[in-house]
Amino acid sequence: MSDAPILITGGAGFIGSHLVDALLAQGHAVRVLDNLSTGKRSNLPLDNPRLTLLEGDVADAALVARAMQGCRAVAHLAAVASVQASVDDPVATHQSNFVGTLNVCEAMRTQGVKRVLFASSAAVYGNNGEGAAIDEDTAKAPLTPYAVDKLASEQYLDFYRRQHGLEPAVFRFFNIFGPRQDPSSPYSGVISIFTERAQAGLPITVFGDGEQTRDFVYVGDLVHVLLQALELPTLAVGPVNVGLSRATSLNQLLALIRQVTGSLPEVSYGAARAGDIKHSRANNLRLLERFAFAEPTPMAEGLARLLGR
Ligand code: NAD
Ligand code: UD2
């Protein structure tokens, strides 16, 4: 195994820190670049000598170049993950969500690093494909600055592939859940909000009738795919949806939380969120073609891990 580290931008965050754990467990050296805006030191095993944390911003080109030195691959996960933050302040989030990607590409080009994983989002499809299983060729409709920056990042990565031989593995995540997902904003992932409130005995609000569905993926199953993308000798070109192609409604989710915890606090139903997508589900045939994907973690089991049961 090469001793050259793998750089993980955003490695102190929810998804990044699970990837860090998995890589360290495999014996790899890992370098994290994170500005700790939503990520936390406590998400990282900082006493592990194979892990280095560089605190700083992916918008800082010189710092990204320094972080890249001697690395053998990159997982570029750093971004302001809140869509609402991008709507409120497109200029600031663009620095993280787009300029950061460009800095990663440039640092890779100048230092000859080839392999990069990129965390894109189902947000690039907007409302297109709603109701059907969305495949990667579904027309793109980025409706927010967040989605525009993700799609533009994908396209820049493809430019660097064609022009400079980068090997990007672009993943469009659907709804990822698991331990360490931050529940603190109203726009945080619904599972992190519902489970935190269920544990605290606080009332839960469902926006709409609860019959809207999402394609929830346990973070450990995503990490299993990311690990493969770092190691495969060759990568097929083109983005890959990360979803299970399974629809779970919020009402089903609440029933599962009740099953795992034994009880539920008061649940009320309010107005649906403006612009909320009713049904979001991935066509994941490309994922299954390109990566080994064992039977996914059942929702109840993922919830039990999240709830520490
Ligand atoms: P997260 O907020 O926990 O992780 C993002 C990390 O990036 C944090 O540690 C944060 O401190 C860091 N970061 C943000 N801006 C930075 C900057 N300018 N410089 C350096 N570090 C910076 O969120 P997450 O859910 O773990 O998201 C990881 C990636 O996956 C993001 O790119 C996000 O857009 C994408 N994604 C997540 C989901 C999901 O369901 N969680 C869905 C689609 C896409
Ligand atoms: C996800 C992403 C978003 C964007 C979008 C693209 C997350 C956190 N959000 O939004 O970044 O990529 O997909 O399609 O991954 N809800 C409640 N009560 C609450 C919170 C949420 O009822 O307290 C509802 C919400 O109205 C929605 C569902 O739960 O119908 C899921 O909400 P979400 O914010 O977890 O995710 P989503 O799919 O809207």
Q: What is the pLDDT of residues 82-116, one digit of tens each?
A: 999 999 999 999 999 999 999 999 999 999 999 99
Domains of the chain: 6-176+216-242 (3.40.50.720), 178-215+245-306 (3.90.25.10)
Structure confidence at residue 1 (pLDDT): 56
Pocket test for ligand 2, best of 149, 153, 175, 241 (most atoms within 8 A of CB): 175
**Atom of ligand 1 at shortest distance to CA of 175?**
40
Residue 272 DSSP symbol: P
Measured in Å, residue 253 CA sits from the centre of ligand 1 at 24
Whether the CB-CB separation of 273 and 250 falls below 8 Å is answered with: no
Q: Does residue 214 have its Cβ closer than 6 Å to ligand 2?
A: yes
Whether the CB-CB separation of 39 and 66 falls below 8 Å is answered with: no
CA 140, chain centre distance (Å): 19
Size of the chain in residues: 309
- How many beta carbons lie within 10 A of that of residue 214, not counting itself? 23
Measured in Å, residue 244 CA sits from the centre of ligand 1 at 21
The list of the chain residues with pLDDT below 50 reads none
Q: In whole angstroms, give the CA distance from residue 155 to residue 33.
A: 23
Measured in Å, residue 265 CA sits from the centre of ligand 2 at 20
Give me the long-range contacts of 122-127 (CB less than 8 A, separation at least 24): 122/172, 122/173, 122/174, 122/175, 122/241, 122/243, 122/280, 122/282, 123/83, 123/147, 123/150, 124/150, 124/151, 124/154, 124/172, 125/172, 127/277
Structure confidence at residue 274 (pLDDT): 84
The ligand that comes nearest to the alpha carbon of residue 178 is 1
Residues 6+ apart with CB under 8 A from 224: 22, 292, 293, 294
Catalytic residue status for 146: yes
Q: Does ipTM exceed 0.95? A: yes
Q: Is 117 exposed, middle or buried (0-12, 13-18, 19+ CB in 10 A)?
A: buried
pLDDT tens profile 118-143: 999 999 999 998 888 999 999 999 99
Beta bridge mates, 246? none
Residues 6+ apart with CB under 8 A from 132: 281, 283
Residues 6+ apart with CB under 8 A from 147: 83, 121, 123, 124, 126
Q: Pick the catalytic residue: 125, 146, 160, 218? A: 146
Measured in Å, residue 69 CA sits from the centre of ligand 2 at 37
Whether the CB-CB separation of 31 and 71 falls below 8 Å is answered with: yes
Give the N- to C-terminal CA distance of the chain in Å, as an integer.
36
The ligand that comes nearest to the alpha carbon of residue 243 is 1
DSSP-derived 3-state class of residue 296:
coil
The ligand that comes nearest to the alpha carbon of residue 101 is 1
Structure confidence at residue 305 (pLDDT): 96
**Atom of ligand 2 at shortest distance to CA of 194?**
23
